[in-house]
A and B are shown apart, each in its own frame.
Chain A
Amino acid sequence: GENVEQHPSTLSVQEGDSAVIKCTYSDSASNYFPWYKQELGKGPQLIIDIRSNVGEKKDQRIAVTLNKTAKHFSLHITETQPEDSAVYFCAANGKSNFGNEKLTFGTGTRLTIIP
């Protein structure tokens, strides 16, 4: 099945600087790659996603890049703010007995923004 690796596990950046989180996946058939943000005591929330037919997607201060050949994708957060502090998860879809809706998650990155 799909295997997703995520690095780093913790990341501290100065407010206003950029943060980059990287993930690799194993299943070349994966075609959907979402990123989730989890704040303390809450469930993960989707912040951005990308499909395999594009190489980059942006939404204000966040962007995701995808390299299908190398099987890796990255989350970029620019002009970081204190409210960006959270745990971030990457995921990739994979084949199930019913289709390809099964999401496999990375182990998470705890991002801390230093004021």
Chain B
Amino acid sequence: DAGITQSPRYKITETGRQVTLMCHQTWSHSYMFWYRQDLGHGLRLIYYSAAADITDKGEVPDGYVVSRSKTENFPLTLESATRSQTSVYFCASIGGIGAAFFGQGTRLTVV
């Protein structure tokens, strides 16, 4: 299916564990983004990427790592999960006109 897909949709993990959230897009968009959504904060940018192997920090990057070896994939890794990283995570990509397209989100709970 064309579009942007995230996996898993739901994840429960323990404090201190490493967890990776996956994002895949089929449009070959250059730009990809990871946001977290928390009540009262809206959508905050964690990391973004302009192309394969080109990434940069966003507003709240601490505790997260990204990679982009292929244009279509942009995984987000929590190296050692903390309770403060409990959130809903959204991946997005931007096409040529500037409009961002979002995935369905991953609800992560750190216990």
Contact = CB atoms under 8 A, between A and B. Distances in A.
- Decide whether A and B assemble into one complex: yes
Interface of A: 1, 6, 32, 34, 36, 41-46, 49, 89, 91, 93, 96-99, 101-108
30 contacts: A1-B59, A34-B98, A34-B99, A34-B100, A42-B105, A43-B90, A43-B92, A43-B103, A43-B105, A44-B43, A46-B99, A46-B100, A46-B101, A49-B98, A96-B48, A98-B50, A98-B56, A99-B50, A101-B31, A101-B50, A101-B94, A101-B98, A102-B45, A102-B48, A104-B45, A105-B42, A105-B43, A105-B44, A107-B41, A108-B42
B99 A49 contact: yes
Interface string B87-101: 000101010001111
Contacts of A36: 102
Q: Please give me the 5 A-B residue pairs with the lowest Cβ-Cβ distance, nearest first.
A: A43-B102, A98-B50, A107-B42, A105-B43, A32-B98
Contacts of A49: 98-99
B104 A103 contact: no
A45 B92 CA distance: 11
